[in-house]
Chains A and B, each alone.
Chain A
Amino acid sequence: GENVEQHPSTLSVQEGDSAVIKCTYSDSASNYFPWYKQELGKGPQLIIDIRSNVGEKKDQRIAVTLNKTAKHFSLHITETQPEDSAVYFCAASKPAAGNKLTFGGGTRVLVKP
């Protein structure tokens, strides 16, 4: 089955700096790659996603890039703010599996003021 690896497991950045989280996936049939933000005591919140027919997608300070050949995708957060501190998860799904999501292990991001 699909396997998603996520790095780093923890990331500490200074407010205003950029943060980058990287994920790799194993199944070349995967075609949908969402990113979720999870704050303490809450469920994961979908923040951005990308489909395999697109190489890059941006939404304000957040961007995601996808390299299908290398089977990896990344989340970029620019001009980080303290409220960006949370655990971020990448995930992957493929058509044959309905919309079952396979998640990475998560990255704890701490933005220091």
Chain B
Amino acid sequence: ETGVTQSPTHLIKTRGQQVTLRCSSQSGHNTVSWYQQALGQGPQFIFQYYREEENGRGNFPPRFSGLQFPNYSSELNVNALELDDSALYLCASSLAGTASYNEQFFGPGTRLTVL
């Protein structure tokens, strides 16, 4: 069984730039959720993708967008980067349609620094 993987591990960007983060879900999982974790805080829900469509969104502006592909992998795109976007971005996968659909398994995250 392959766990959740994310790339890149670290990224440095400047204010105003755009960034794309990638996630491969755990083998057999069909749902991907993205979270932002600021230093010293708990993760905050950005959005979730199921069957290649957005399935719920947290309190994040439209410059945060995503995609899910037929193989259930996913991308998080952030446009017009701001300093406050500096955080650890976590991807979590789960299996919708089963009794254990709540269980989310996280990847190692991508550390984004915006200068």
Q: List, in ascending order, chain B residues with CB within 8 A of A34's CB.
A: 102-104
Task: Annotate A31-47 by CB proximity to B: 1 below 8 A, 0 otherwise.
Answer: 01010100001111110
Given A89-B43, A103-B44, A105-B42, does the pair A98, B105 have CB atoms closer than 8 Å?
A: no
B42 lies within 8 A of A106 (CB): yes
- Residues of chain B touching chain A, judged by Cβ–Cβ distance below 8 Å, are 4, 6, 31, 33, 35, 40-45, 48, 50, 55-56, 58, 90, 92, 94, 96, 101-109
Contact B33 A42 (CB under 8 A): no
Residues in A lying within 8 Å of B, measured CB to CB: 4, 6, 32, 34, 36, 41-46, 49, 51, 89, 91, 93, 97-106
Report A-chain residues with C-beta under 8 Å of the C-beta of B33. 99-101
Which of chain A's residues have a CB closer than 8 A to the CB of B101?
99
Kindly list 12 other residue pairs between chains A and B, CB separation below 8 angstroms, not including A44-B43, A106-B41: A34-B102, A42-B109, A43-B4, A46-B104, A46-B106, A89-B42, A97-B56, A98-B50, A99-B96, A99-B101, A100-B45, A101-B92
Across chains A and B, the number of contacting residue pairs, with CB separation under 8 Å, is 66
Known A-B contacts A43-B90, A89-B43, A105-B41; A98 and B56 likewise in contact (beta carbons under 8 Å)? yes
Assembly CA distance A101 to B31 (angstroms): 14
CA distance A89 to B102 in the complex (A): 16
B96 contacts across to A, CB distance below 8 A: 99
A44 adjacent to B90 (CB under 8 Å): yes
Whole-angstrom distance between the Cβ of A42 and the nearest chain B Cβ:
6
The interface residues of chain B lying within 8 Å CB-to-CB of A93 are 102
Whether A100 and B58, one on each chain, are in contact in the complex, defined by CB atoms closer than 8 angstroms, is yes
B106 interface neighbour in A32, A45, A51, Cβ under 8 Å: A45
Q: A99-B102, A100-B56 are in contact. Are A43 and B42 (CB under 8 A)?
A: no
**Is the Cβ of A102 less than 8 Å from the Cβ of B102?**
no
CB atoms of B48 and A46 under 8 A apart? no
